[in-house]
Chain A
Amino acid sequence: MIDISLHLLDLLQNSAHAGASSISVLVVEDQEHDSLEVVVKDNGVGMDEREKELALDPFYSSSPGKRVGLGLPLVLQTAQMAGGKVSIESAPGSGTKVTVQYRLSHIDRQPLGDLASTLVSFMAGNPRVNICFLYKGPHGEFAFDSEKALQGIDTQYLGQVGAICQIEEKLREGLAKAGFKPDRGGLLFEVPRGAGTHQRGNPG
């Protein structure tokens, strides 16, 4: 994973996998306290104490038949590299809340990446999961509610390209207004073939 927005996408996938129907995402860039915080809270099945501890173990997965589960361990690694930490609050039946903190000015902190791309690609694949997203940055803030954004679209068209394009426009516009700039270029950043394999191969 080369930026934080990709980790966020992975956390969202975890929530969807846990059967969440509603996920709230909070991204706060706080220059005053030199912190960057990403919070993902879902209403999925939740984890018991044992699972919660094992969640950060790369050789544990809740999926049957899988012997590795790298999502959260990678998040933990990159947070720790940037003077931060990961905390998980969860209980069976009451969902899960994952909080990832970074030191904003830390030299090893990954770039935030393209949040709009993350949200669009997640909503494209999970049109029935409601997402509440709030971004607070030094220049402004932006709130997004997928339920509102999808109002008026017939449920049979959810997940189709037409509906996805509508969401994408709203997200990119809103984030740009809040002063958010994707750190890795704009829409559709494309890695040339063969280039950047070092970066891509690096789990951090």
Chain B
Amino acid sequence: MKSREELERIKEETLAEIRLRSSQGCPRIVVGMGTCGIAAGARETMLAIIDELRKRRRLDVTISETGCIGLCAKEPIVEVNIPGQPKIVYGNVDPSRARQIVLSHIINHKPIQGWVINVDEKKS
């Protein structure tokens, strides 16, 4: 980063990207894909989520990823953002849990309490 203008430009670009990606009232699923997540099986978790959404014809859901958030023991970690609802973070999400989360939380709007590791009341 060299100048104030550049900083402004990065801010604009990032904000535009955030607006785009959190757009239009569609649910958004974030999978932790740091080294810890990958080693714990995050890739298969993400593919299971994509496959389950495809089967259930929810092609509008956005998939995203993030790095290590410091809870490596709980990986694979999956965060579910549904507009107007609290942001919910699940831990130890293997492919079979991932499919159940898609069905129960995304399709039927019923979070699976037992697997939740954090709830952010701030509505997304």
Decide if A and B are genuine partners: yes
Q: Which residues of A does B touch, CB under 8 Å?
A: 1, 6, 9-10, 13, 17, 63, 66, 69-71, 74, 117-118, 120-121, 124-126, 128, 155-156, 159-162, 164-165, 168, 187-191, 193, 200, 203
Contact, CB under 8 Å: B44 / A165:
no
Contacts of A156 in B (CB 8 A): 20, 23-24
Can you list 23 A-B contacts (CB < 8 A)?
Answer: A6-B39, A6-B43, A9-B33, A13-B33, A13-B34, A74-B35, A125-B33, A125-B46, A125-B65, A128-B17, A156-B23, A159-B21, A161-B54, A164-B63, A188-B44, A188-B48, A188-B95, A189-B44, A190-B44, A191-B41, A200-B39, A200-B40, A200-B41
0/1 per residue, B59-99, Cβ < 8 Å to A?
11111110110000000000000000000000000111000
* Tally of chain B residues near chain A (CB < 8 A): 38
Contact, CB under 8 Å: A165 / B39:
no
Main SS at interface, chain A: helix
Contact, CB under 8 Å: B20 / A124:
no
CB distance from A78 to the nearest CB of B (A): 12
Q: Which residues of B does A touch, CB under 8 Å?
A: 17, 20-21, 23-24, 26, 31, 33-36, 38-44, 46-48, 50-51, 53-54, 58-65, 67-68, 94-96
Contact, CB under 8 Å: A125 / B47:
no
Name B46's contact: one of A124, A128, A165 (CB within 8 Å). A124
Name A191's contact: one of B36, B44, B46, B61 (CB within 8 Å). B44
7 closest cross-chain pairs (CB), A and B:
A125-B65, A162-B59, A190-B95, A71-B35, A161-B53, A124-B63, A121-B43
Instruction: State the CA gap A187–B28 with chains docked (Å).
Output: 23
Contact, CB under 8 Å: A160 / B43:
no
Contact, CB under 8 Å: B68 / A66:
yes
Task: Kindly name the residue among B21, B35, B51 whose own CB sees the greatest number of chain A CB atoms within 10 A.
Answer: B35
Contact, CB under 8 Å: A161 / B61:
yes
Contacts of B20 in A (CB 8 A): 155-156
Contact, CB under 8 Å: A164 / B33:
no
CB distance from A147 to the nearest CB of B (A): 18
Contact, CB under 8 Å: A118 / B60:
no
